[in-house]
Amino acid sequence: MADIETTDATGTDTQDVFRVARAWLAQDPDAETRAELEALIVSAEGGSDEALAELHDRFDTRLAFGTAGLRGRIEAGSARMNRVLVSQAAAGLAAYLLEREQKPSVVIGYDGRKNSAVFARDTAEIMAGAGVRAVLLPRLLPTPVLAFAVRHLDVSAGVMVTASHNPPADNGYKVYLGGEHEGSQIVSPSDAEIAAHITRVAAEQNVLELPRSDTFETAGEDLLDAYVAETAKVMTAKPVDLNVVYTAMHGVGWETFSRVAEAAGLATITPVEEQQHPDAAFPTVSFPNPEEPGALDLAYAKAREVGAELIVANDPDADRLSIAIPDPSNDEGYRQLSGNEVGWLLGWRAAVIHAEQSAPGGALACSIVSSPALAAVAREYDLDFVETLTGFKWVSRVPNLLFGYEEALGYLVNPTTVRDKDGISAATDFLSMVCFLREQGVTVERALEAFAEKFGYFASDQLSLRVTDLGDIAKIMAHLRAEPLQQLGGVKVNEIDDLIDGFGSLPATDALRFVLADGSRVMARPSGTEPKIKFYLDVQRPNEKRDEASVVLAAIKAELAEIAARVTA
């Protein structure tokens, strides 16, 4: 076996990085990344400081399991996404599963991003070669279909090759667990145990010598049929003729969503043709995320053209949902609802339906950075309310869950079917709610007003600061810990909760929570998937004082931006 232990190197010696890169090159089965790395090595050996720095950036660390498994730019190197890294991950996951079961099994899905199908097939072949029963989804499909398949097929684990809403050059690798985990994404200690196996594979084995087999199975169309049938059941209201525009954001959502909509009795769905089909280049958006400015421009144009009363958008792997409603005061003619607004309405709807069924117990849940409004709904309907760490790997594990969400456009409306955020079932649930409201002569805008009248006015905003130097994020967090804020937006800070070592029932995470004297709340945390630090701002007032809430919110946001700029100057 080739000596490749240095593929997991963390040193910074120049000769070391050349040796590591050459060893990586020798086992790379991909012609594109092999040629790219070879050119980089030649340039660095020729004296290019820029190329040498790039080699260190790619090989001094490894891409590790984080908030969403593996995720990174498609390039050669242990700190990037590529066939070597994916092969190591597949072999490590196989070893983890074989350590726990005599006959483990895995289902593998993939979206339309660059190399997704290649990474998925590599995984299937390596799993089968290791003795794990492997089932590959029949073609590129949404992440929620893979999450559904883990439970539907009763397998030990699931792998989804996707980078969700990340930039076009990225790809990723999500891992789900079956059995007692019920199809949720991995959490501690499973993530660390899988990572240890991956590290061992990287240190001891050449990926070209890993056993492979083409004896993996390919799932039939009946799997997708089952997902469509179960998801269509989310439509509990009588369907009415809604004029809806839908965008798949160049992702894989359209086929599955349109089938669910048809099965649910929703006839008039108009796709944004330019974004209807998968395209790994994402040519019409600079950033394929419905939250980003400009991402819905084509949807707005199509909605104006057809006079749509609702815009439904999924991100590229269709696990997130964004909604826009008519707004004559807006230049676009439509207003995009925040993730919190959609979460409030769907959570309220879940609580009402549960109460009508006279069912016992039940819980509503959201992440710690989402609005406290859902807690008010839970109190009103005598339900448990649970706050979790960010990520649906936590939200999905809440006992007796009826509905869960996080403000980053993620919603779980049918936890008995899918234990992950699902933009297709959430869209179906939202359309079901709109059908119900139409029968009552109520618009979505009026429903939001009714929410404020019943539960109070919740003003939410986010300050998201993208950095080029990751050290700036650490500087800001260190400053906030070393010099505790006494006031924000003119309001006294009553309490500061540091979650770095855990807090209450919450596991440890790098986050700070500021509770203000007026009940307002600010969360500060580094992003788990992007080079950003994020501040989540929430202010609550009685509905008649909503203007006051907006003033306080704006003041808090301006002050935090000033602090961050000063610390990183």
The confidence score (pLDDT) of residue 535 equals: 96
H or E element at residue 365: strand 363-367
Mean of per-residue pLDDT scores for the chain: 94
Q: Is 414 left (phi over 0), alpha (psi -120 to 50) or beta?
A: beta
Please state which CATH number belongs to domain 456-568.
3.30.310.50
> What gap in Å lies between CA 533 and CA 467, rounded to an integer?
8
pTM: predicted TM-score of the whole model, two decimal places: 0.93
> What gap in Å lies between CA 166 and CA 432, rounded to an integer?
29
CB distance 366 to 374 below 8 Å: yes
The confidence score (pLDDT) of residue 12 equals: 55
Q: Are domains 223-455 and 456-568 of this chain identical in fold?
A: no
> What gap in Å lies between CA 481 and CA 220, rounded to an integer?
53
Which residue in the list 78, 87, 156, 164 is annotated as catalytic? Answer: 164
Taking residue 553's Cβ as centre, other Cβ atoms within 10 Å add up to 19
Cα 507 to Cα 303, 333, 387, 501, 510, distances in angstroms: 43, 43, 11, 7, 10
Residue 164 is among the residues annotated as catalytic for this protein: yes
Buried b / exposed e across 273-288, counting CB within 10 Å, b at 16+?
ebbbebbbebebbeeb
CB distance 510 to 499 below 8 Å: yes
Q: Going edge to edge, which strands form the sheet with 310-314?
A: 269-271, 244-247, 310-314, 321-326, 334-336
* CATH entry, 5-219, from 3.20.20.60, 3.30.365.10, 3.40.50.620, 3.40.120.10: 3.40.120.10
The confidence score (pLDDT) of residue 68 equals: 62
> What gap in Å lies between CA 534 and CA 526, rounded to an integer?
6
Taking residue 118's Cβ as centre, other Cβ atoms within 10 Å add up to 17
How many residues are recorded in the chain?
Answer: 569
> What gap in Å lies between CA 106 and CA 108, rounded to an integer?
7
Report residue 159 as tokens: 């792998």
Q: Is 507 left (phi over 0), alpha (psi -120 to 50) or beta?
A: beta
Number of Cα atoms under 13 Å in the Cβ half of residue 76 = 26
Cα 7 to Cα 1, 56, 65, 498, distances in angstroms: 14, 12, 17, 36
The confidence score (pLDDT) of residue 494 equals: 96
403 forms beta bridges with 364
> What gap in Å lies between CA 112 and CA 207, rounded to an integer?
25
CATH superfamily of 223-455: Alpha-D-Glucose-1,6-Bisphosphate, subunit A, domain 3 (3.40.120.10)
Q: What is the mean pLDDT of each run of 10 residues along the chain (569 residues)?
A: 33 82 97 97 96 96 78 96 97 97 97 98 98 98 98 98 94 96 93 94 97 98 98 96 97 98 93 97 94 95 97 98 96 96 98 92 95 96 95 95 96 96 98 97 97 95 90 95 93 95 90 93 87 93 92 95 93
The confidence score (pLDDT) of residue 359 equals: 82
274 forms beta bridges with none
Question: What is residue 170's three-state secondary structure?
Answer: strand
Cα 83 to Cα 79, 123, 201, distances in angstroms: 12, 10, 14
The confidence score (pLDDT) of residue 10 equals: 42
CB distance 99 to 92 below 8 Å: no
What residue ranges do the domains of the chain occupy? 5-219, 223-455, 456-568
